Structure formats: structure tokens, C-alpha cells
């Protein structure tokens, strides 16, 4: 199940086209954080996606827009900056393969400046659409279309064994708590980001997830014990 989240979209035509794309690719939810354009005007570009603009959830911040999803993916035309773990990105294909069967929030930034670093940090993964390094900046609605298309392709042929939402949340919880005990400074954040991403990417089934959770929990208990 897919939720499209637009953060402060500025162009009526983009919002309208995105509503149409939501209908084309059977998106379940459209959230808009602090729209900076006229949603009435946007309807002129939404064709048979009109309904999505009428029922879109307008919220005041990204946090609200991420409530209730299993995993959130932010998008950026900048990726893999040297030594910047936060910017380490996955491709739309990898994202669809890993999370296509979950309740996923796809988060898209402003046409002008994209998402802030803080907004990207609020999401679980960063997705980058491969394009020419010479000019990789896609127009907003076209980036949305390509991501929805990749997720749609996967939803047509469901294969991958499921990892439960509970397990995903437990893994995120224990990686975070262990991290809180071993970090020396905020500069260590990249360790946490990297380990969580690697685990969610690498785990193939529920049995494996359970074994990893036991490992993390025992490590956490041991760390707490050491502190007593």
C-alpha cells in the first residue's frame, strides 16, 4: 500500500499531474504538507485523478504525514555524496523490491530546493532516480511517476517472502537503543543509519528477522546489565 507525500509543492501542474499518476498506479493515499500552490488550479491537470485532490490529506508537518506507515522513503536528485551516509541512496528498483509489499510512504520535496536534511533524516531510506550526472534533476511529477511505476511493476508480480511489520519495527527499535548506548557523538549517527539500512535490505524472511532481533535484544540487555 502506497502513500504519496508531497512537502510544500509549489507548482499547480505538478500537483495535478501527481493526482493523475496516483490514479494511474492505484495509490491509496495522497498527503500534502503545507501546499504552496493553489490546489483548485491543480485540478486542471489532474484529469481522472481529480478525486485524489478532493480527498488529499493536508497536514502541517512531515511527521504527521508519516504516521501509520511501515517504512518511509525520501527522494533526492543528489545522491552518494562522499562520506555522507545520510545521502547513501537506493534505486527505485531496490526500494520497490525491498518494500513493495509494505505500507510505504514516498516523500517528495519542493520543486525549488527538494527536501531539507532534517526532513531526509526523518525517513528510513533515501531513493535516488538514476539519470545523467550532468543534469540528474527531474521535474517533481516525473520523479513521482517513475517511482510509482517501479512499485506498480513489482505489485503486479508479488514474489518476495514477507518480513512482518512487527519485526521491522523491533529491528529499528533495537538498533536505535544499542546505538544510543555505544555512540560517542552525534557524528556516530551514520553508523546507526548504515546498520539499520543494511539489516532491512539484507533480511530475507521472518525466521532470519527473528534471529537478528534476538541477537540485538541480547546485546541490548547485556549493555544495560553492564551499566548497573
The residues that touch its own copies, with contacts defined as CB under 8 A, are 13, 17, 20-21, 23-26, 45, 47-49, 83, 85, 88, 93, 129-132, 134-139, 141-142, 145-146, 149, 152-153, 156, 178-179, 181-184, 188, 190-195, 197-204, 207-208, 211-212, 214-215, 218-219, 221-223, 225-226, 228
Cell triple for residue 13? Answer: 501542474
Comparing CB distances to its own copies, the nearer of 59 and 189 is 189
Comparing CB distances to its own copies, the nearer of 169 and 198 is 198
Smallest gap from residue 202 Cβ to its own copies (A): 2
Report long-range pairs for 157-165 (Cβ below 8 Å, ≥24 apart).
158/100, 158/101, 160/97, 160/100, 160/101, 161/204, 161/205, 161/206, 162/101, 162/205, 162/206, 163/203, 163/204, 163/205, 163/206, 163/208, 163/209, 164/206, 164/209, 165/70, 165/102, 165/103
Smallest gap from residue 211 Cβ to its own copies (A): 3
For the chain, the C-alpha Rg in angstroms (whole number) is 19
Comparing CB distances to its own copies, the nearer of 103 and 201 is 201
Smallest gap from residue 199 Cβ to its own copies (A): 6
Comparing CB distances to its own copies, the nearer of 31 and 220 is 220
> Coil, strand or helix: which one is 143?
helix
Smallest gap from residue 165 Cβ to its own copies (A): 18
Smallest gap from residue 1 Cβ to its own copies (A): 14
Please state, in angstroms and rounded to a whole number, the distance separating the CA atoms of residues 100 and 2. 8
Comparing CB distances to its own copies, the nearer of 59 and 223 is 223
Comparing CB distances to its own copies, the nearer of 17 and 66 is 17
Burial 127-165, CB ≥16 within 10 A → b, else e: bbbeeeeeeeeeebbebbbbbbebbbebeeeeeeeebee
Smallest gap from residue 49 Cβ to its own copies (A): 8
State the Cα angle at 158 between 175 and 173, rounded to 5°. 10
Amino acid at each position: 500500500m502506497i502513500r504519496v507525500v508531497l512537502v510544500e509543492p509549489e507548482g499547480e501542474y505538478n500537483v495535478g499531474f501527481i493526482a493523475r499518476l496516483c490514479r494511474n498506479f492505484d495509490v491509496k493515499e495522497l498527503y500534502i504538507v503545507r501546499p504552496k500552490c493553489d490546489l483548485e488550479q491543480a485540478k486542471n491537470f489532474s484529469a481522472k485523478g481529480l478525486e485524489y485532490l478532493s480527498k488529499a490529506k493536508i497536514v502541517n508537518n512531515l511527521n504527521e504525514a508519516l504516521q501509520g506507515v511501515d517504512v518511509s522513503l525520501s527522494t533526492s536528485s543528489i545522491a552518494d555524496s562522499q562520506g555522507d551516509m545520510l545521502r547513501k541512496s537506493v534505486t527505485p528498483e531496490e526500494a520497490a523490491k525491498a518494500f513493495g509489499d509494505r505500507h510505504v510512504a514516498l516523500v517528495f520535496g519542493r520543486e525549488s530546493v527538494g527536501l531539507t536534511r532534517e526532513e531526509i533524516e526523518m525517513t528510513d531510506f533515501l531513493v535516488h532516480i538514476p539519470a545523467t550526472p550532468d543534469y540528474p534533476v527531474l521535474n517533481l511529477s516525473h520523479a513521482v511517476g517513475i517511482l510509482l511505476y517501479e512499485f506498480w511493476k513489482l505489485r503486479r508480480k508479488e514474489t518476495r517472502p514477507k518480513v512482518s511489520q512487527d519485526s521491522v519495527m523491533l529491528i529499528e527499535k533495537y538498533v536505535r537503543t544499542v546505538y544510543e548506548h555505544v555512540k560517542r557523538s552525534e557524528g556516530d549517527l551514520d553508523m546507526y543509519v548504515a546498520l539499520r539500512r543494511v539489516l532491512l535490505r539484507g533480511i530475507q524472511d521472518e525466521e532470519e528477522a527473528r534471529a537478528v532481533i534476538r541477537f540485538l535484544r541480547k546485546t541490548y540487555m547485556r549493555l544495560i546489565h553492564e551499566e548497573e
